Amino acid sequence: MQPTPQVQPPGAAGLAVQLHDQTPAAIDVPPAWLSDFDATAGRDFDQAMAGLRRRARLAEDADLLAALAPDNFTGPDYDRFAEELAKYGMAVIAAWIVQGVIFQKYRERGLGTLPEPSPGALNQPDVAAELTNETVAWALHHFRRTVLLNNRWDPKKGASLKTFFVGQCLIRFANVYNRWRDNDQRNAAVLIDDLLLLDQPLTSTPRTDPAELAVIRQEADTRLAALPPRTRKIMVLTAADWPQQAIAAELGMTEKAVERTLSYYRKTERRKGA
């Protein structure tokens, strides 16, 4: 008796699969979604999933803006959003400035070429922080006015809200940086080598005695010689009892930046002394 040949039923686990040739009903989905799923067939599943997650985030970005729009992007909810957007922008821009890649990023965005500073010039804590804060503040200002209120961000174009904002930061960086550069060069030229300012102190400055000023001048020439010009000037004017507000005004920076520079210098000195 011939054994009956066993026929393996279709299906990976030997389970019967009912095949049919019915045409599935047409489903109205964006073509880009289908291409992502095509990718799963032969290419990278993770890539396809990342695409879906990105689209989900874009939809959530749109939802977030829809919640803020009725109040014209004002009020406590907008402030909270702006705060988190600022944090993200500040972290990104500060990192790019300190790493020295911001000029490359600027070029890559097709925004042109900015004159680069001398090596290390932007690594000073007060400089990096001030450029970052000013850049992000202007970016927030323009982002709200020109992008959010005019509905210029479009999720269909693929850039997320945070990416769009960083683009805005790069645009604003140019003016902020150019102003800083003009100011810094002017300070470096005028300033401190001869410390003429100390010969014409503020009327409210307690130190006007020429002997005292000479001591400060000598101190600046020796101990502070290695410091960058602006930091040196801050130190000298502080030694001459200029108020931080006056120093900030003189150097075109904020009081906070003056304070931060002093704090950084003192910490450095303490480390040297330890």
Residues at the site binding other proteins, with contacts judged by CB under 8 A:
57-58, 60-61, 63-64, 67-68, 76-77, 79-88, 90-92, 133-134, 136-142, 144-145, 160-163, 171-172, 174-176, 179, 256
Kindly report the CA angle at 157 between 151 and 163, in degrees rounded to 5?
80
Min separation Cβ 106 and other proteins, Å = 12
Instruction: Supply 268's token pair.
Output: 């450095």
Query: In the complex with other proteins, which residue's Cβ is closer, 61 or 236?
Result: 61
Nearer to other proteins, 106 or 242 (CB): 106
Instruction: Tell me how far, at minimum, the Cβ of 43 lies from other proteins, in Å.
Output: 23
Residue of 180, 179, 210 whose CA lies nearest to 195? 210
187, 247 contact by CB (below 8 A): no
Q: Residue 140 or residue 213: which is nearer to other proteins going by CB?
A: 140
For residue 51, the minimal CB distance to other proteins (Å) is 14
Write down the least CB distance from residue 235 to other proteins, Å. 24
Q: Return the half-sphere exposure (C-beta side, CA atoms, 13 A cut-off) of residue 52.
A: 15
Closer residue to other proteins, CB minimum distance, 134 or 184: 134
CA–CA distance, 213 with 265 (Å, rounded to integer): 21
Taking the complex as a whole, how short is the minimal distance between the CB of residue 124 and other proteins, in angstroms?
Answer: 17
Nearer to other proteins, 72 or 163 (CB): 163
Q: What gap in Å lies between CA 158 and CA 54, rounded to an integer? A: 9
> Which residues, 6+ apart, have CB-to-CB distance to 167 below 8 Å?
109, 159
